[in-house]
A and B are shown apart, each in its own frame.
Chain A
Amino acid sequence: MQNFKTFFQISKKYIKTCVIYFVIFLILMIAMTHLTATEKTSKFTADTVDFTVIDKDHTQASQALIDYLSKKHHFVSFDSEDMDSIKDNMYFQMIQYVIMIPEGYEEQLKDGKYEDIITHSMRTDSAAGYFFNQDIDSYFQALSLYHTAGTSLENALNQTEEVLTEIQKNKVEVLTFEKSNNGTNPSGYYFQYFAYILIAFMLESMAPILSAFQKRDLAARISCSSMRPRQRSIGIGSGAIAFSVILWVLIVFAGLITGQYRMDTPQTILYMAGNSFIYLLVIVTLTLCVASFHLGGHSLSLVSNVIGLGSSFLCGVFVPLWLLSDNVTQIARFLPTYWYIKNNNMLAGFNGEAFVLGNYLQNIGLQLLFAVTFLTVYFVIHIRRQLKLSDI
């Protein structure tokens, strides 16, 4: 109990830093949630591609092409002189496709010269450009077919648009086999980013408090008391858990105040909160282990970033889990964040997977196993250190 009290006495010294971290990380978490939650759609739609056109022809024919593509995809307007801006937006994924319509495009169409009639530039890594290519090819194929059938260019343009618009009316049937969340609610993203924020916050704010116990004088004073090593470790560990539970309550409450749960059922939120609570225990035990190494402030920042950012990129916090290759997910299985994100994906419906209580509990169990492992490491390090001190 004495160590438990000492923990909070020391934490008072760090309260200002903790508050700064809490406010900054909370703002980051809400900003990330807001940025990602607004992009998605719930039902199946053929992926729309963000594209732009550099039109040097400015004719009825070139406008007809732009109009047709804009109906199906999202046209992003740029000043066509500003090539740097177009390049930057394509590199940073704001647009995926650039069409360049040369001067004399309409004349070429009239002459029936369809080969290399326009050019494009697209991101090589994504399949989105592939079906955009298919759409353009369909357009020119329809146009060339009408042209071959003896239709004038003006009529061919109109007929092509009509036939392609008619085809779009043939909607895709979406079948639902298992009821899942629609994958667009902000709560899913809020708890997804919780995984990174928690590691960064705990290692940055709680680890220095725990490290204070490793300072020679304080450690020596504690070690000469009548308490058993195990009791001392339990005291510090309980303090850390109480500290982190307060933090967890604040984060969950902040989500409620900022309206992150407005679109979900209370049951889903309870499951998400439960998952995050178990993850919290894992990170507390991880922090206890890291703090046992008595790292300085700078080293601790670097270590927290390596653990926080590294595990977040590997386990699907910043990029969807299903986009990572199989090899990466095989490695990620050895990290607790992976099992936390798996549960969160299932609850939020990010991958269309339905909620299965058995799977949820299994993932919770695996997280608890990590917590037990970290706790064992902590006890071993702590008890060995206590014994070493008692030898002095």
Chain B
Amino acid sequence: MLRIMLFTWKRLFRDKTNTFWILLFPIVLGSLFQIAFGNFGESENMSVIPVACVMEQTESDETFTKILKQLSSGEDAFLRVTECTDTQARKMLSKKEVVGILYSGNPVRLSVSENMKTQKIQQSILKTFVDRYNMQQAVFYETMQNAPQKLNDMMQTLQQDISYNPDVSLSRHPEQSPFTQYFFNLLAMACLFTSVGGILVACHNQPNLSDLAKRVAIAPTHKPIAIIAELLAVTIYEFILNSIGFLYVSFVLRIQLADRMPLTLLTMFVGCCVGVSLGFFIGCFGHGEQSAKQGTVFAVTMPLCFLSGLMIAEVGIMIENHAPIINRINPAMLLTDSFYRLSQYDNLNRYYTNMVTLIGLTILFNLMAFFMTRRKTYAEL
């Protein structure tokens, strides 16, 4: 058995192009993800918002100007105000020099441009500011009419710096970027792409598909043992290559995956097992050529990765909310979810359930594949 494993490793290592690309795949794609998401949302940050202000000569102009001055001065200023006429303000808005126009008065009004959809967050922040200002103005106006003696107390309440609603994080790593999930998906995809290794094992045991298989078929070795040895060798080989990619993602790109290293590596290994056995199962179907079977594997794994949220992040959780059974049997989602559980949860019950399901799938794929390969005879080759 060891001898077969050794020869399999030799054969795999000689295929330099494949080895090179399996090794490089998570590294290159991980680096590209890091470039794309490294400063993600930078344009969405709450930096200073340029705004034009038109004074409509009302009673409340003085208070409004005072507040705008407060909000646009100092280090933590959130507005940059340009006071101007309506025509000038509209011109500035059309040239996208400001995000919105504030009109003083009771209530204060806001105008934004439909041609600045990329600044929607900043527009929303302005709207929230305007609403809050109008609320304070309305409450004071109402009190002035009903209970003017309380105005001073209200002023004091308003000036108190009270935190009503402090932040209490629910996750294990609240600082972790949510885009880390794309890296989980990437590692899951790398694990599932090992299915091509399973195809190789299947084709090397079908004498109508390769010369090597013809030689293997006439050898006196017990067939199941030979296949198990080859499957094991391929799994270990692919696991080592994928682990290098994982280490690169963890330590070079600094994606938070390494704080439960043994369990993460176990997940990678189980992922490679399920990938190879899936490939072996598909490879044992029919008498198609190796390239056609490789194509089939890709056609199967890509939709699985899509359903786990590789292209659109929300897909996985949408399925979880509406048809969770799909997530329980989709190996790509089981792997992605396992990496996510390891990174975000203290309680690992669901992680262990995922692992058991993946091992179950591995056994199922292998049993079905073995069932298809047994008692195959060839009248002529």
Contacts and interface: CB of A to CB of B under 8 A. Distances in A.
Given A150-B150, A170-B107, A302 B170 contact: no
Given A46-B128, A138-B135, A32 B196 contact: no
B313 A167 contact: no
Contacts of A313: 32-33, 36-37, 182
Contacts of B138: 163, 166-167
Interface stretch (A128-136, A228-236, A271-279, A376-384): A128-136
A295 B17 contact: yes
Interface stretch (A85-93, A217-225, A261-269, A365-373): A85-93
A36 to B, nearest CB: 7
A203 B45 CA distance: 38
A71 to B, nearest CB: 13
Nearest to A121: B170
A190 interface: no
Contact of A301 (B107, B115, B164, B193): B193
Nearest to B301: A301
B313 A140 contact: no
B367 interface: no
A299 B17 contact: yes
Contacts of A166: 138
B22 A145 contact: no
A83 B41 contact: no
A352 B117 contact: yes
B111 interface: yes
A324 interface: yes
B158 A134 contact: no
Nearest to A88: B317
Contact of A350 (B33, B94, B117, B134): B117
Interface string B291-330: 1101110110011001001111111111011000000000
Chain A interface category by residue count: 35 or more
A323 B22 contact: no
Interface stretch (B173-181, B212-220, B257-265): B173-181
Interface stretch (B3-11, B57-65, B118-126, B352-360): B118-126
A120 B134 contact: no
Contacts of B350: 84
A32 B315 CA distance: 9
A128 B121 contact: yes
Given A168-B131, A313-B36, A116 B181 contact: no
A124 interface: yes
16 contacts: A21-B295, A88-B317, A91-B171, A100-B168, A116-B163, A121-B169, A141-B158, A145-B136, A172-B110, A298-B193, A301-B298, A306-B24, A309-B311, A310-B28, A323-B44, A353-B115
Interface of B: 15, 17-18, 20-22, 24-25, 28-29, 32-33, 35-46, 90, 93-94, 107, 109-118, 120-121, 123-125, 127-132, 134-136, 138-140, 142-143, 146-147, 150, 153-154, 156-158, 162-171, 174-175, 177-179, 181-182, 189, 193, 196, 290-292, 294-296, 298-299, 302-303, 306, 309-318, 320-321, 340, 344-345, 350
Interface of A: 14, 16-17, 20-21, 24, 27-28, 31-32, 35-36, 43-44, 46-47, 83-84, 86-94, 98-100, 114-128, 130-131, 133-138, 140-142, 144-146, 148-150, 159, 163-164, 166-168, 170, 172-178, 180, 183, 196, 200, 204, 208, 295-299, 301-303, 305-306, 309-310, 312-314, 318-320, 322-328, 331, 349-354
